[in-house]
A and B are shown apart, each in its own frame.
Chain A
Amino acid sequence: MGGRRRARRAPGGAWAAVATPPQSKKGTRRRLWGVRLTEDMVAKLEAAFATMPVGKTTVAAYLMDATGATRSNVRTWLRNDRLMPRLGRPAFLTEAKEATIFRAMELWTASGGLLTREMLGKLLRDYVHDMGPVREAQAKGYFGDDIVAWKGWFVGFLLRRPELRRVKAARLEEARARAATPEAVAKYGAALTAVTRQYNITSASQVFNTDESIINEADVLRGCGNHAYTTSPTRRQVDFVTPVVQSGADAASVVACICADGTRLSLFSVVRGSGGRLTYAQ
């Protein structure tokens, strides 16, 4: 197989990499993303492509039959305009130079900056500018005149540096972010310890937690929407299906009381509506 593979990317958020201390053997276990196609295979593909009948619509299938290559290889080769992408570390960036760029990243994260993909590119660009005109010319030949590193280079760099890992931006209310201080958590821990001592709470069966959670129809149906089924043999993918209609803002809140020993009280629900017979209640 070969070619540039799509990086595993966190959905919804920008990339952000965090420098972490090297973990034992984690980096060596990582699978490298793809290898180059052999020269013979590329030649076979070129020959098959040249002799392909005009108007052929199933190009990938034809090339697979003609050369014996896998679908993944063929599609990668076609996607890259029948050229093999450049893989691995660029020749002008030695391991020592990449280590220097990595140290600059560590400094940036230590100063509190978020190491996004854009910032990673900027650090690379700044470093290349300082490397001298010859190296800069080589970098321009590799990355383009504006020295904007492409996605594959980032993927390779992250693979060569297992200390870096991608983190996903999660949604958090500002009030929660501001309230989440170590002092508040430490005070909570101290209060919890004090209460357990004061009231002689020694067993898990004496500790309970109660909370409510609202589950509404819209959320349930939205969550189900990713999976639609069809019996049609010709359309295996369904674009949009509306099997049911939600009725306004129907919702129910589930109030749970759980115990630290793994048990719970029976559920307490509050359902939207007033009066009438509860057809679902037993």
Chain B
Amino acid sequence: MVAEVHRREIPGFDGDLRLEYARFLAKHLGSTQPTRWKLLLMDGCKVHLSANGLAILTAAKVVALMFPSHLSHLLQPCDDEPFLKVKAHAFRSGRAMLPTLPAGSIFTIKQLMIVIAEACPYGLSSVHIINGFKNTGAWPVEVSKVDVTRLLTGMGAGYVSRRFDLNRLMVHLGPEARREMNQPVVSFGSISNCGRAVVATSDGVLAAINELDAAKEVALKAKDARQARTLDARVARAAQLVADERDADQRGNNTSFRRCRDALRSAAQRQKDRLGGTPEYTPVPGAVILREPVRKRIRRA
């Protein structure tokens, strides 16, 4: 099996790896049919929205369409049969491998990769891939393939008895969908695909991503400046404290200051000697000692 393997502390995508993957996609998809446009369906994960990555894809004549959010379990062809079968076969490969391992040994990443290498060709076979596209209505385009009953769960009692025709609804909502797919809505600092499909490589979306990136850049710079200011203030405060301590030491060791202090101490000692050992707390006639009233503790029966 030919595979490109990258290592990261968390085994998932980040911005740099996504860029790498975009290059990988552009290299392979661009070479298949260089003169024709290709459609790439993908979920709306935040990390996929990299301006550079999408620009690379556009250059390779790839148009990326993002699924509406939280609907990949119904619409994503990969999630239908291909990955399901990959995971099922991974268990089978694992079971076949277990008797060959000595008891108590560690199941390492190497063995996991062997399991994956055996499972992927099976799960990602032609039949499973074509079925994945068919079952989700991605190709041939037929949305009525989506299981309607799964669209009515969790929507309350009223929805369960609702009757509708997806094809007619598609025609009815067509103009709205066409308008929305190129007009991004920014929500919580990202492109929102809530209840709508978005063409990620469209000019509008790319412009919005660039704006968001610029805003992020500005915010990052402001944060860096703020942190630098805070750091400077801390350093200055620490230096001031050191200087104050040094000054205090110098003052304590000053000859004139010490002479003055010794004079005051000796005067106080002379005064004590003259009074002849007065106790610290001398009772004064007529004085009343006031104490704070103590609350009575209520005993429970």
Assess the B90–A223 pair: CB atoms within 8 A: yes
Contact residues in A for B199 (Cβ distance below 8 Å): 191, 195
Given known contacts A242-B103, A258-B132, A269-B6, A187 and B177 CB-to-CB distance under 8 angstroms = yes
Contact residues in A for B174 (Cβ distance below 8 Å): 190, 193-194
Bound-complex Cα distance A173 to B153 (A): 11
Contact bitstring A227-270, B, C-beta under 8 A = 1, else 0: 10100000000000011111100111111111111111111111
Contact bitstring A207-223, B, C-beta under 8 A = 1, else 0: 11111111111011101
Contact residues in B for A279 (Cβ distance below 8 Å): 110
Closest beta carbon of chain A to B129's beta carbon, Å: 5
Assess the B90–A221 pair: CB atoms within 8 A: no
Closest beta carbon of chain A to B199's beta carbon, Å: 6
Identify the B interface with A (CB < 8 A): 1-13, 17, 21, 24-25, 28-29, 32-33, 36-43, 62-63, 65, 67-79, 82-83, 86-87, 90-91, 94-95, 98-99, 101, 103-110, 112-117, 120, 124, 126-127, 129-130, 132-133, 137-139, 141, 143, 146, 148, 150-162, 164, 166, 169-174, 176-178, 180-181, 194-197, 199
Find the A residue at minimum CB distance from B72: A211
Assess the A220–B173 pair: CB atoms within 8 A: no
The listed residue (B17, B42, B112, B156) touching A220 by CB distance below 8 A is B112
**For the complex, would chain A's binding face be called helix, strand, loop or mixed by DSSP majority?**
mixed
Bound-complex Cα distance A195 to B101 (A): 51
Given known contacts A186-B170, A212-B12, A221 and B28 CB-to-CB distance under 8 angstroms = no
Closest beta carbon of chain B to A202's beta carbon, Å: 9
Contact residues in A for B169 (Cβ distance below 8 Å): 182-183, 186
Assess the B166–A186 pair: CB atoms within 8 A: yes
Given known contacts A247-B107, A256-B82, A229 and B99 CB-to-CB distance under 8 angstroms = yes
Bound-complex Cα distance A181 to B67 (A): 13
The listed residue (B3, B87, B90) touching A267 by CB distance below 8 A is B3
Which 8 residue pairs of A and B lie closest in terms of their CB atoms, listed nearest first? Answer: A177-B154, A112-B157, A189-B143, A262-B126, A223-B91, A179-B70, A190-B177, A191-B197
Bound-complex Cα distance A70 to B3 (A): 56
Assess the A210–B25 pair: CB atoms within 8 A: yes
Find the A residue at minimum CB distance from B14: A270
In this assembly, does A188 line the interface, its C-beta being within 8 Å of a C-beta of chain B? yes
Contact residues in B for A211 (Cβ distance below 8 Å): 42-43, 72, 76, 78-79, 83
Assess the A250–B99 pair: CB atoms within 8 A: no
A-B CB pair tally, cutoff 8 Å: 355
Find the A residue at minimum CB distance from B107: A244
Bound-complex Cα distance A205 to B40 (A): 11
Contact residues in B for A250 (Cβ distance below 8 Å): 107-109, 112
Find the A residue at minimum CB distance from B134: A260
Q: With A179-B69, A213-B86, A250-B107 given, name 12 new contacts (CB 8 A).
A: A112-B160, A176-B73, A177-B154, A196-B141, A199-B39, A199-B63, A210-B78, A260-B129, A269-B4, A269-B113, A275-B7, A279-B110
Contact residues in B for A271 (Cβ distance below 8 Å): 5-8, 11, 109, 113
The listed residue (B9, B127, B137) touching A189 by CB distance below 8 A is B137
Contact residues in B for A175 (Cβ distance below 8 Å): 70
Assess the B5–A224 pair: CB atoms within 8 A: no
Bound-complex Cα distance A247 to B108 (A): 7
Assess the A209–B12 pair: CB atoms within 8 A: no
Bound-complex Cα distance A87 to B285 (A): 106
In this assembly, does A192 line the interface, its C-beta being within 8 Å of a C-beta of chain B? yes
Among B137, B161, B170, max chain A CB count under 10 A is at B170
Given known contacts A196-B141, A212-B12, A224 and B91 CB-to-CB distance under 8 angstroms = yes
Assess the A188–B67 pair: CB atoms within 8 A: yes
Contact residues in B for A209 (Cβ distance below 8 Å): 40-42, 76-78, 132-133, 138
Bound-complex Cα distance A126 to B297 (A): 60
Assess the B112–A180 pair: CB atoms within 8 A: no
Assess the A262–B143 pair: CB atoms within 8 A: no
